[in-house]
Structure 1
Amino acid sequence: MANDIIFQPLNLGKVTIKNRILRSSLSGRWDNEDGSGTQTRINWETKFARGGIGGIISSFVPVTMHGRILPNYATIHTDDHIPFWRELGAAVHRYDCKFIMQLSHSGRQQDMPGLSNQNRIALSSTSRRESLHGFPCQAMTTAQVKDTIAAFAEGARRAREAGLDGVELHGANGYLITQFLSSGINDRKDEYGGSLENRARFLLDIIDAIRAKVGRDFQLQVKISAIDYNNVVPWEGRGNTLKETIQICKWVEEHGADALHVSMGSLFPHPLNPPGGFAFDTITRNYDAMLSSGTRTLRNYFLFRYRLLRPIFYLVWFRQKWGKPIEGVGAESAKAIKQAVSIPVISTGGWQTGSLIARHIHAGDFDAVSMARGLLANHDLMDFWRQGKDVPDRPCTHCNKCLLNAPKHPLGCYELSRFPDFQAMVDEITSVYRETPPPLMAAAQ
């Protein structure tokens, strides 16, 4: 098979994954308000592991309760949560699948603060509000920066004690590390702002702190936005260029990272992450859950709801998509980074076509791909490739209804055309709540 390289193992530091496919960060609100995990999350992760992928990169796992993007996300801010993560990791390992915990902090990008953050303003590199939704924030003091660095290191220690295979630092897509890295966001005047070297200091200090805490043998990778494209709102600064990010990646390797996970964008969602469509009717039904979170959310809601205003949003949002592919939107940037470093590079961005993935890996453009929506639509995608099919029978349409439904509803595929009827769609989405996992899609068919 021309796609055989997809099924070849890959070393990520001391960890070997059995093939070149990882599920990227993807999760619903499956957990408890106090940050403790549930059986539903275990069902969620094992559903992907059973499909045969090489590794799972967990959803956004906050290293502090103050760093959550949404309530009902499991955290790693306390030793009390280690047993849960140990149980989850063991469940994933039963399917010969590795589990990498994504250590994260929202910074100013808090979609719905939740009970723990009701009366607290989000901490960031800056005191300027997030540009799209207007989320309020306050620049961290130097002491708070140091405390947050220590929290990341403690999160890595807990992940190691839980028997997980490694950690990923979420340095992409507008979350806290991006807020320090990006020239379009970081306006600090101290040692963590200004020059590229200073803006990268927060990330590099985290890597150093983790290595001091867990040693060199524990797998550590970094997710990073190759290009910020920060001017989603046109008057915002463009942010980091690919050249600047390549330099950051070189420093990341020097400080002891084992792999790089390359994405796009300085906020989430972003026109290029996830790439694809935008269903106005879906976002209108769900965006109101975020109205109280920011000062610009009402403006956005009107743009979504009223047909006469939608062309304004469409023009602003989609202008950055013009001329760019949906599948493999970040491939060229990942290739440029791969040429500059010696550690493995993982590319994310709309992947699901076997021959396209194999062609890039054969060419040495990068070493593996991660995907979210493609696997959400077809958990057993690997089986279709083994059968000689280039894409699954019912491929992901990249409609992004999964994301747009997430503020109010369980995460899942909401593209009705992919199901026999509405009830079949609901049954698939809610299958993670069952004690006994259901069969995968191909088996069910």
Structure 2
Amino acid sequence: MSTAAAFEPLEPLRGPVIPNRIALAPMTNQQSEEDGTLSTEEIDWLTARARGGFGLVTTACSHVAVSGKGFPGELGIFDDALLPGLERLATSLREAGSVSAVQLYHGGMRALGDERVGPSDDVSSGTRALTTFEVEELLERFVAAAVRAERAGFDGVQIHGAHGYLVSEFLSPVVNRRTDEFGGSPAGRARFLLTLIDRIREECGPGFQLGARISPERFGQDLFETVELAERLIDEEKIDMLDVSLWDVRKRPENERAGGRSLIDWFTRIPRRGVRLGVSGKIIEPADVEWALSQGADYISLGKVAIVNAEYPRLLRSQPDFEPYWRPTTHEHLRSQSVGPRFSRYLSTYTHPVFRSLPASEGAPKFDIDAYLRGEGH
């Protein structure tokens, strides 16, 4: 089975050509400082993947407002004071040969802190509905963050519209019960994301790459609304890359009305025009890479397997019989892959088999990643 297609250059509508079709998925790693400042640990972790051959490297979610922080040690992009670290990272990734992007994020009803905000009230999480004025304020914070990323030297940004955070909450017919222009219908629920895209396009340069990440189901998402949104994003060509988080690229839809087609097929069948379509979810072996690309994806994003295989693309290209490291890991192996101690401690809370053997921090509960992907818990 050939993976040669993975090493064809990828040319988005705008900005630099991406040297191959293998991207690093944005992953929470808890390595930044509590004030949002980028740490040397996080720079080293991301730069090691760029040196390892990942054509596109996207940061972990980066909160655009202090109130939107969703995890301890989360990267921030809400203030100009954070620019020095961001500039260091952008320079390091460029010198290592990767195209770079910052993932723009707000935790919404899943944010840390006592005062959570979202599209609608939610008693169970203590979330207060944003006023229309506050929605406009948050849109401006996202736009300011995109401008900040461009100033720092990144090639683009990715809007985090997946996994039940703020943008995803606006898209959800379950979570979003608003009756103003940002709710009430599929068009209204998509308005936050579409307005944000338009405003970033207006404020950033013509060569600045703009992507969006979406979930097709779970977290209150409706598959058919998500497909309709994807069709519009692709048809209007206002973004350059659409990243669909599938949890498993071979997965069948949970919605019984979707028939026997796989989730990936619902998106790869959309006439592509100039927008590049990426997929992620349980892409581990070289055969998985080849299969996802053969189904019509333009690129694939690697997540957990990239944590334990910093040089996955380089090794895949140079070794026909490449077998990625994919077994219970150790802190020593993680150190060899430029995973810092804070990220390593965070991974020790996973119940995923690869990380299950890591000694957990004292008193830290195991983090059930499968439950998280089902939309249960934080």
Both proteins in one fold, TM over 0.5: yes
Change (3 A) 1:3 1:107: same
Q: 2:57 corresponds to which residue?
A: 56
Q: 2:265 corresponds to which residue?
A: 332
CA displacement at 1:23 relative to structure 2: 0.6
- Supply the AA of the counterpart residue of 1:377: V
**Mapping 1:86-101, distance limit 5 Å:** 86-101=87-102
Q: 2:290 corresponds to which residue?
A: 358
- Supply the AA of the counterpart residue of 2:199: A
CA displacement at 1:220 relative to structure 2: 0.2
**219, 232, 244: which is aligned to 1:262?**
244
Cα deviations by residue, 1:277-329 (Å, 9 ceiling, x for unpaired): xxxxxxxxxxxxxxxxxxxxxxxxxxxxxxxxxxxxxxxxxx969xxxxxxx8
CA displacement at 1:251 relative to structure 2: 2.9
**For 2:254 and 2:342, how far apart are their aligned partners in 1?**
24
CA displacement at 1:409 relative to structure 2: 2.4
- Supply the AA of the counterpart residue of 2:170: F
**Mapping 1:37-436, distance limit 5 Å:** 37-110=38-111, 113=112, 117=113, 120-129=114-123, 134-226=124-216, 228-230=217-219, 239-241=221-223, 243-253=224-234, 254=236, 256-264=238-246, 272=247, 330-336=263-269, 338-339=270-271, 342-363=274-295, 365-385=296-316, 386-389=318-321, 391-392=323-324, 394-395=325-326, 409-411=345-347
2:194 counterpart SS class:
helix
Change (3 A) 1:406 1:177: farther
Q: Which runs of 5+ in 1 are unaligned?
A: 231-237, 265-271, 277-318, 322-328, 427-445
- Supply the AA of the counterpart residue of 1:247: E
**For 1:103 and 1:7, how far apart are their aligned partners in 2?**
27
CA displacement at 1:362 relative to structure 2: 3.9
- Supply the AA of the counterpart residue of 2:52: G
**For 1:143 and 1:416, how far apart are their aligned partners in 2?**
42
| TM-score, reference length from structure 1 | 0.69
1:19 counterpart SS class:
coil
Work out whether residues 30 and 40 of structure 1, in 8 Å CA contact, stay in contact via their aligned partners in 2.
yes
Kindly, what percent of the aligned residue pairs are identical? 27
CA displacement at 1:356 relative to structure 2: 3.2
Q: Which runs of 5+ in 2 are unaligned?
A: 256-261, 335-340, 362-378
What is the RMSD of the two structures over their aligned residues, measured on CA atoms? 3.3
Change (3 A) 1:128 1:7: same
| TM-score, reference length from structure 2 | 0.81
CA displacement at 1:252 relative to structure 2: 2.5
Aligned residues: 340
Q: 1:234 corresponds to which residue?
A: none
CA displacement at 1:372 relative to structure 2: 0.9
CA displacement at 1:384 relative to structure 2: 3.6
- Supply the AA of the counterpart residue of 2:346: P
Greater displacement, 67-76 / 351-360? 351-360
**For 1:225 and 1:190, how far apart are their aligned partners in 2?**
24
CA displacement at 1:136 relative to structure 2: 1.9
Work out whether residues 373 and 396 of structure 1, in 8 Å CA contact, stay in contact via their aligned partners in 2.
no
**For 1:47 and 1:77, how far apart are their aligned partners in 2?**
26
**For 1:240 and 1:417, how far apart are their aligned partners in 2?**
30
Cα deviations by residue, 1:235-283 (Å, 9 ceiling, x for unpaired): xxx6412x3222212333426111100014xxxxxxx47999xxxxxxx
Which structure is larger by alpha-carbon Rg, 1 or 2? 1
**For 2:289 and 2:121, how far apart are their aligned partners in 1?**
41
Q: 1:326 corresponds to which residue?
A: none
**Mapping 1:23-38, distance limit 5 Å:** 23-38=24-39
**For 1:416 and 1:197, how far apart are their aligned partners in 2?**
37
CA displacement at 1:135 relative to structure 2: 2.4
- Supply the AA of the counterpart residue of 1:257: I
**For 2:191 and 2:354, how far apart are their aligned partners in 1?**
46
Change (3 A) 1:418 1:258: closer
2:271 counterpart SS class:
helix
Q: 1:15 corresponds to which residue?
A: 16
Q: 1:294 corresponds to which residue?
A: none
**For 1:359 and 1:407, how far apart are their aligned partners in 2?**
30
